[in-house]
Structure 1
Amino acid sequence: MKDLHILCLILFLFLGACRQPFPPPAPYGALPSSAQMDWQKMEYYMFVHFGPNTFTNKEWGDGTENPQLFNPTDLDCTQWVETAQKAGMKGIIITAKHHDGFCLWPSQYSTHTVRESLWKNGKGDVLKELSVACRQAGLKFGIYLSPWDRNHPFYGTKEYNQLFANTLTEVLTNYGDIFEVWFDGANGEGTNGKRQEYDWNLFNNTVYKHQPDAIIFSDVGPGCRWIGNEAGYAGETNWSRLDIEGFMPGKSPRLDTLNSGNRYGKFWVPGEVDVSIRPGWFYSQETDNQVKPVDKLVDIFCASVGRNANLLLNVPVDQSGRIHFKDSTRLMELKHTLDNMFTHNLAENKRVTADAVRGNDKAYAAENLLDGRYDSYWATDDHVFAASIEIDLDEKKDINSVLLQEYIPLGQRVSRFVVEAWDESKNTWKLLVEGTTIGYKRILRFETYRTNKIKLHIQESLASPVLNNIEIYHIPQAYLPATEKTESSLINNEGHLPTEKWTIQSPVHTRIVEIIDGKKTSVSINKNEAILIDLGEETQFRGFFYMPEENVSAANLARYNFLISHDGVNWTMLKRNAMFDNIRNNPIRQNQFFDRVVKGRYVKLEPLELTNQAEKYIVVEFGLLK
């Protein structure tokens, strides 16, 4: 009998040792490629806008600029790279060719390049210098290449698409590995007054042929998508899936769809948030004192990287060819702040439990959430779509931030969750924050609460949830969501002409005076009505400004005429069929300067085109510049 017991014990141990691990969850829905995973893990990298616009104080050049204007006195790509690296960024994307057509390399397909500039006597190559500097420092290198070309004579002809593909090939084959190709969907008129019908299949296939692992950015990807605004935020609900059939760059889904993705989208097209550290994209001395403050940049980081998107932060290069010290200083302040915010993880080495574990197998245990390894994860059985995870902090601690991650190689699944804290005094759980999607990374900030236990309750998931990381923090109060902060309602009037003597003659509107009162209030004006102002006396000025509503969905003024008169009868056109560059995507104050100082008593702003279809356009403020 004793031998039988021993035999049974040996058999039991043998069967236990031979027990097969429980199978992992099946992938759900659209999935990221290996290249998209590498891209997502970069999280944060630099955009550099640099070109003739740097020297002309414009956002969009018209292609008629003399290339000899481009002449940086101390261009130093190593300084750019060192700045990005010290800021914690993982790469740099450069505007190799913006809409003006100027190439930052000596392209054989254009006569509007650095070769025709004074810089280095026409022997320079910005792309070469930057790509080498990135490679030496271990940063990734990417390019922005606009298909819109306001200089090239072929633009608007059947030959242009192949010429652009050749230009792409030139860049893709001469500067090493390229991690992202950034396609701007802007499509305006060229030198011949024609628009180009872009061959996106040709362009994308050219990229895949020469840089198969490059992520292609556009409104609709296919590698990553525009997030629908240039203000710096992804949707609080943000799916990495998108339905792109029937759409193309420049003809994308609704902006709110780009901001949030599609819950059941067929394609994996994660979001990228592009935003500038200054009001505009190119350097302007006038914005040296308008570099975004640290708390604003923290909000942007948490609303991009912290909402399942990557952050592409633009840092313009100045006329010397270097990143201005005010920008680099602010980047270092941001890095220091983020390090302080997310260094001390209160969940580290703490006890974690879950009310559901896949197959009761340790391979999917809750402990995997705290082990610091990306490819280990907690999961539930296939039929379990709601579950809870508890973390015991051992003692009461102040907390106000939680970082969550789904294991997205198996798809994005979670659609609703709450984070709760144990309230010992009431012997119950207290709601701290709730959310919808998680994705690659979700950062949630909330009012500080003192507790010894935290619970993540996944309330709804499209398939069995799979998470690989939870972190808990107590960050400085100054970097919590700024719900109590109110932005000044006054306009910065530096450089403005006084308006006390002005009379708005048209349109007739009960609130029309509010467009010149120095306050941030919006006034709607019929789209066929011009703004006509009597300045009260002959006045000298060198330009004007228009302040739109800061909302990409608003109907702001996009194209206009500006006229001046001495008597209100005979008018001189100073700006004809002019555009506020990029105002639809980046609706910020527009400063417009003339080529000379002008003098008159009457001014008129005639609306020609709006950013969105509407019967009225919006004016927050209008003024003249000294």
Structure 2
Amino acid sequence: MPVGGHVAVDPQRLQTLQQAFLDLRFGMFIHLNMATFEEREWGDPTLSPKLFDPKHLDTDQWARAAKSANMGYACFTTKHHDGFCLWPTKTGSANIMQSSYPHDVVRRYVDSFRKAGLKVCLYFSILDLRADIRARTVTPEKIALIKAQLTEILTQYGPLTALILDGWNAAWSRISYAELPYREIYDLVKTLQPDCLVTDHNAGSYPGTALYYTDIKQYEQHAGQKIPPNSPVPSQSGTTLQSDWFWKKAYPTSELASARTIVDDWLRPFNDNHCNLILNVAPNRDGRFDDNAVARLAEIGGLWKNSGPAPTIGRSVTITTPDLAAGKPAWASASDEAVGPDQAFDDNFRSYWLADRGKTDAWIEVRFEQPVSFNTLSIVEALGAEEYGETSRIASYKVEVERDGAWVEVVAGVKPAHYQFHDVQRTTASRVRLSVVGKQPGITEFGIYDEPRAG
């Protein structure tokens, strides 16, 4: 049922799907695309699709190798950052039918893995260098192209466990959720496949105790992203068996990650921390796994067996809509030197407002030109930020709205966690104030959201 123009997602159903995903424990990432034939990690968007030619493509071999490692699912790269589509898209984008191997590779992958009893996920890059979908170039026509391509892969290949998105709201792609609205894509996926988890590679941008713009928190382990201890949210950590994501000429004889490292250092500890491991195995230019990769996967399977359901998760706080306070005019009771209140409303979890030194109570406030409605609040203290320290400085807090010249309390608490989230009764106001008591407290983000809710 739509809520405020958005698709309402049942939180209990979402939690069930997240738990089922964690119960799969271990998966295979499969990077095959133009970059496979270029000795690169990103394909050159100016090169001809004719370069793509996995003459002896064997997706059944991939599935057998995944089964030998006792994996529960896999994810395949339908389109990487250069924009070449591995299915016969009708959108006009460069695709598999223009290559030297004119066969639907996505179809072959999903059929092989389902036949082997493995769950199927697909990867899709929002960044698209062939279509010139990059930061500060996004247009309604380009958003329509993305939606058309996603509609194809969500309607032609059966039910997906998850859709993994990449190249969006990352420091290196710089396509923001404002320029290319997150919720529009999320609603499309949930309309076409309500049980498909949407998982975006944005772990570097948001704190780890809530699900910001994703159903499953993504950690790109290969890029140094680490799961925080005792993480409460359902997560996935991605790394590689070989040295990189796409196949290189040295791979048939190169060093691989050891089976012991994969199982004992990654897989088992991650599983105990509400996190799956997804291990990339890169097919070669024939479209097959190298012999050394096949052997290592079997060795992993000798050490690892899925022992049943993963540790149980609770309901996660989920943010899918824009922060209404981001970039809006901000005031404070006082600020320490140059760390003003605007830094608590800049959608940046690395900057922060700091109360004036010597003060034990302070407030920050955001003001809107027109009244806004909201039902979700986030309060993130600056713990771990430069010169702030790891110990909370906040003893208590409250959020108020201005109504007819008086301040009315919306929510209050004591000794908050590093990240504090509140579902509140839908409230409309032009001024929203956060007051804190403590020893020169600092706030990295005070977020105000209007999340779609069922009922």
TM-score category (smaller protein): 0.5 to 0.7
Secondary structure in 2 aligned to 1:143? strand
Which whole-Å CA distance do the structure 2 matches of 1:316 and 1:306 have between them? Answer: 27
Corresponding residue number in structure 1 for 2:182: 200
Contact preservation (8 Å) 1:226, 1:272: yes
Corresponding residue number in structure 2 for 1:149: 128
Contact preservation (8 Å) 2:217, 2:235: yes
Contact preservation (8 Å) 2:182, 2:213: no
Are residues 1:133 and 2:112 paired?
A: yes
Point out the structure with max Rg over C-alpha.
1
Secondary structure in 2 aligned to 1:303? helix
Corresponding residue number in structure 1 for 2:424: none
Contact preservation (8 Å) 1:232, 1:275: no
Which whole-Å CA distance do the structure 2 matches of 1:46 and 1:224 have between them? Answer: 16
- The one-letter code matched in structure 2 to 1:40 is L
Q: CA deviation at 1:275?
A: 0.5
Structure 1, 29-38 or 196-205: larger mean CA deviation:
29-38
Give the alignment of 1:354-369 within 5 angstroms: none
Contact preservation (8 Å) 1:54, 1:284: yes
Which whole-Å CA distance do the structure 1 matches of 2:164 and 2:143 have between them? Answer: 17
Give the alignment of 1:495-514 within 5 angstroms: none
Contact preservation (8 Å) 1:232, 1:304: no
Match of 1:168 among 133, 150, 161: 150
Corresponding residue number in structure 1 for 2:88: 106
Secondary structure in 2 aligned to 1:33? helix
Q: How many residues align?
A: 291
Are residues 1:295 and 2:260 paired?
A: yes
Normalising to structure 1: TM-score of the pair? 0.43
Normalising to structure 2: TM-score of the pair? 0.59
- The one-letter code matched in structure 2 to 1:85 is K
Which whole-Å CA distance do the structure 1 matches of 2:181 and 2:89 have between them? Answer: 21
Which whole-Å CA distance do the structure 2 matches of 1:115 and 1:235 have between them? Answer: 40
Distance 1:236 1:226, change over 3 A: closer
Contact preservation (8 Å) 1:75, 1:320: yes
Q: CA deviation at 1:30?
A: 9.6
Give the alignment of 1:243-262 within 5 angstroms: none
Corresponding residue number in structure 2 for 1:73: 55
Are residues 1:238 and 2:238 paired?
A: no
Q: CA deviation at 1:293?
A: 1.6
Which whole-Å CA distance do the structure 2 matches of 1:318 and 1:180 have between them? Answer: 25
Contact preservation (8 Å) 1:181, 1:217: yes
Q: CA deviation at 1:304?
A: 2.0
Give the alignment of 1:319-398 within 5 angstroms: 319-339=285-305
Identical aligned pairs, as a percentage? 28
Q: CA deviation at 1:162?
A: 1.5
Corresponding residue number in structure 1 for 2:274: 308
Which whole-Å CA distance do the structure 2 matches of 1:216 and 1:78 have between them? Answer: 26
Structure 1 runs, 4 residues or longer, greater than 4 Å off? 29-32, 186-190, 193-196, 231-234, 409-412
Are residues 1:276 and 2:240 paired?
A: yes
Q: What is the alpha-carbon root mean square deviation over aligned residues?
A: 3.1
Secondary structure in 1 aligned to 2:17? helix
Corresponding residue number in structure 1 for 2:313: 408
Gaps of 5+ in 1: 1-28, 242-269, 344-371, 375-404, 413-552, 554-626
Distance 1:318 1:139, change over 3 A: same
Contact preservation (8 Å) 1:44, 1:312: yes
- The one-letter code matched in structure 2 to 1:272 is Q
- The one-letter code matched in structure 2 to 1:41 is D
Which whole-Å CA distance do the structure 2 matches of 1:232 and 1:64 have between them? Answer: 30
Contact preservation (8 Å) 1:148, 1:187: no
Corresponding residue number in structure 2 for 1:40: 22
Corresponding residue number in structure 1 for 2:283: 317
Corresponding residue number in structure 1 for 2:413: none
Secondary structure in 2 aligned to 1:159? helix
Higher relative contact order structure (alpha carbons within 8 Å, sequence separation ≥ 6): 2
Give the alignment of 1:456-467 within 5 angstroms: none
Gaps of 5+ in 2: 1-10, 203-211, 318-384, 386-455
Which whole-Å CA distance do the structure 2 matches of 1:232 and 1:42 have between them? Answer: 24
Which whole-Å CA distance do the structure 1 matches of 2:224 and 2:120 have between them? Answer: 22
Distance 1:406 1:104, change over 3 A: closer
Match of 1:94 among 76, 82, 101: 76
- The one-letter code matched in structure 2 to 1:46 is M
Which whole-Å CA distance do the structure 2 matches of 1:71 and 1:287 have between them? Answer: 18
Contact preservation (8 Å) 1:46, 1:93: yes
Corresponding residue number in structure 2 for 1:213: 195
Secondary structure in 1 aligned to 2:166? coil
